[in-house]
Amino acid sequence: MSNHILRCITCKKEFDPKPGLYYCVDCGYIMGTLEVIYDYESIKKESAVKEKKFDKKASMYQFDFLLPAKLKSQLDEYVGGTPLYKFDLLGIKDVLIKYDGSNPSSSYKDRASSIAINRALEEGNDTIFCASTGNAASSLAVLNAHTEMKTSIFVPAAIPAGKLAQLEISGAEVFAVEGTYDEVYDLSLELGLKKGWYCRHAAINPYLLEGKKTGAFEIIIQNDFNIPDYILVGVGDGTVISSLYKGFWEFKEIGLTDKIPKIIGVQAEGIPAIKKVFDKGKPYSTISIHGKTIADSISVGKPRDVIKACTYIDASGGFYITLTDEEILDSITELGKLTGIFAEPAGAVPYGGLKKLIYEEKISKTDTVCLVITGNGLKDIKAVEGVIRTETISTKDLEKRFK
């Protein structure tokens, strides 16, 4: 028997999970994304919950009483359990940095891919497919490389070389399609579902958010159950940010905490789709805009988790902000110099967001803050080409310099 039910985010209709059920057809695939709901009263009786007994370094599967899948492979044991650093930054003491670039494929997306793979295997699928701005695909390909199940990937042809390399090296079938992520998403969704493949497209698969919410659980346990006032994270389709809210909400619901942080979404000024919907106010609806940004992972004009990303962030008391591409590049280099963390553009935006909010006096130096750094900068070296200034020096000149 399943440990959860599914509930439509818009009409609230409830469904029992079954293979092939991805969204509420009455509401459509963006308005009708599904929430995964557990029996929270019975989870309160779990021994880990009753004793507040968790491991700061264990994989995300230590929270399997709140997950729709169990640990299956040796790789799963290394998904999650990522570092929570503390640095004095921008005048604030002990800014928390949840660094997810240390997952097996170097991004936050491993949390979702691991769950999707385990559910697809459980259902006996022979192929899993995904459209992606890059990280979701590469995490799926990396984590699924060792199974018998085939990986089929659809990405915009312009994705960074590092992410494409991960796909090819992991033996996935790759379609690098001319067009934007939004175009690739819609077309591949239709093609893959027609084939009967298991779908790991953002948002439409409700279980992805379940894996991602473990980032919030880890922030809580690694910070000894002290909940920060603010969480900042980069936003594209809106699943990661929604998952953070759900994670904090669920730990409160099962009595482990009594606070949900204000969650702030950072988008690129060139393509701020969810911010536009959020700022317009309720009732939230779908949007489709064109635009571009250097932060490829959040270059999304038709966000698929827009309804949760607005509803949950409003419930948290948070909001959305934007950064220009120049501010995003500055975020990468400043974060690197101050902490040693090399984040990809979408991963660095929480730092720039914090800087902006301190400047605008929306966050004060006495507030407690956590930045969620979602991806490793080594995947997208091209983005920082312009700031790498080291020149080759001859051995003779080097000796002269040190005279």
Binding site for ligand PLP (CB under 6 A): 107, 109, 133, 135-136, 202, 234-241, 297-298, 344, 346-347, 374-375
Whose Cβ is closer to Zn ion: residue 7's or residue 150's? 7
Q: Which of 4, 6, 23, 24 binds Zn ion (CB under 5 A)?
A: 24
Whose Cβ is closer to Zn ion: residue 296's or residue 305's? 305
Whose Cβ is closer to Zn ion: residue 260's or residue 307's? 307
- Does position 27 interact with Zn ion (CB under 5 A)? The reply is yes
- Does position 11 interact with Zn ion (CB under 5 A)? The reply is yes
Q: Which of 6, 8, 121, 295 binds Zn ion (CB under 5 A)?
A: 8
Residue 235 binds: one of ligand PLP, Zn ion, none (C-beta under 5 to 8 A by kind): ligand PLP
- Does position 34 interact with Zn ion (CB under 5 A)? The reply is no
- Does position 21 interact with Zn ion (CB under 5 A)? The reply is no
- Does position 315 interact with Zn ion (CB under 5 A)? The reply is no
Q: Beta strand pairing status for 84-89 and 92-99?
A: antiparallel
Whose Cβ is closer to ligand PLP: residue 209's or residue 254's? 209
Q: How far is the CB of 34 from Zn ion (least distance, A)?
A: 9
Residue 254 binds: one of ligand PLP, Zn ion, none (C-beta under 5 to 8 A by kind): none
Residue 313 binds: one of Zn ion, ligand PLP, none (C-beta under 5 to 8 A by kind): none
Residue 222 binds: one of ligand PLP, Zn ion, none (C-beta under 5 to 8 A by kind): none
Classify each residue of 280-317 as buried b or exposed e, where b means 16 or more C-beta atoms within 10 Å of its C-beta: eeeebeebeeeeebbbbbbbbbbbbbbbbbbbbbbebe
- Does position 26 interact with Zn ion (CB under 5 A)? The reply is yes
Residue 135 binds: one of Zn ion, ligand PLP, none (C-beta under 5 to 8 A by kind): ligand PLP
Q: How far is the CB of 202 from ligand PLP (least distance, A)?
A: 6
